[in-house]
Chain A
């Protein structure tokens, strides 16, 4: 099927059902989109696709955006399900699971979450401790997961658990699909330093998972998890796409609006700092462009790997400089620290006026502390740069060859 046929097929879909029509919601429209094979065109027929090249999806999206006022962003509807769940399910799920679950992920009827991290397994995810033991046709799970985005509204969770503690850590893991409504699953909000709970803790107490909800084979869990994780880091760390955009634009605006009392030298130092950050933000943007150009030419270089660590540390500095620019009023934190879910109370991420900009900066000063931890800590990212890009030798591993149960933990 060529490009114009894909366009034609997309227009046919819109003749049948249009997202701008009153009464047509995202479930109704995306169900039809899925059934027409226009959800993920590179997927097989019957599973939301048409067996086409992945780039043809851009043609579909372009046609939808051109002809519809309402355009559903997949990553807003079901970020983990669509971004990570669908590719994992496609590669490792059995035919029944694919048929039952794929469409409901795409429509957003089933929200998905990812249950890998544990209190004792952060950067060292493969060292995790949640146990899964076989009992007849089921697996029985016990343990705790943490930092689980969306768990409180999820139907399904991608879960990694230990099925064999007597072999080295990577070899004893298996990958499960967990029904979040199953008996024994308890989700609690995990409040962070802002007072918000974007994340959850998930406790499993004798939770039973039917054996056919294992993805991949027993003991292959790590390999399946890599598929899931590969689809995560690429989403982090490209900087702003616009010259002078992103958080630095906010910083410049806040500096301009600031009437805080400063000595001449304080002001000069602050302006030099802001300019330095402006330059670094611009270079982050340009480095991303350079990485895209070298990818296009088929010679991807190291420029593609530095984004995550550079962006997370840069943005922390930008928000801190915002507080310097705000001055003494930075002592006040207007929204307070009432424990809540995101979206409850003031919107701390929009900055439509001067007061809103200051509030955003104060909130982000705190929220951005996670940037250098989530999705790979800066320390792990530097290991990756050092080892995979520069070819430096790895740290000696004391846990590699011994059974997981003999590895010290804490």
Chain B
């Protein structure tokens, strides 16, 4: 048994295993890139790189044949490669002065892998829109949706249902959500990832709420372009009365707001009104950003932008700091990074809003640390090799 375990360990920690994993990663990247043409970046990332296993279908040009090929997913391969690096590069490797450089390089690579894991699991990213003079302390996800329930005119507290709890509620599947603080239960069902709320025609049949139904569309290649919707049934806890409604994430561009979601469904219970909205996830930042000036340069003789940047004030704890955000010069503070992403304006050039991309990534700088560590390891190793060569050469000449 011990011998068997030793053999497994030897194989797993071998250089050949690492090469095999890297080749599989190469194949996944190649096949994923091809599939991206038809299915878009988001779907391909999920299928090929964030998965444990997947099935890639080769379509043969002859006889309409399809050949399904099961493959390990990118997540599984990288996890195995991570273990292989530890076993082979730290545990099994002979430890001496001569292998110090190699060990350091492996430590750098492991930090790089850990950074990727932390980014995948913990990073948040989205954007914020600001007109000159406007302030905000939150940013909005590109593609993560929540259901938000709030009491109108209340303290501002919002109950949120994360999308993991309703993404699977397609077709006839439903799930009931409840909270002690709410006078009603919410049953969610008929979720569509990309749809439009359209006026119902009575002869069509199917589920209708307040004269509207959800009409499904094929998924868009670019995930942020998908607009989800769901049917909700509100059941009053006291009277057991039921109300049918639709929540829809349809967004439209408003100059004063940027891309805004459809107004929420209103539910009344006694004298209180509650709003239920399907809206993109929002995160708070621990400081306020105010846009003081948005600057756009244009190509000579036209109104086409050649450069654009934002002059903002960061407000925190009564302190103000003026910062310029422009190409390759983001605002970095408390783990958040704000980049100049784009801007919106009317075709006559008025109503400008700056669009800032926001990242919160605990492993933001880990690739840098990793590269520095690997560089040090490489330097040590190469210097050692050079010295060894010079020593051998000198010995050869004197002999």
Co-assembled chains A and B: no
Binding site for A on B (CB under 8 A): none
Binding site for B on A (CB under 8 A): none
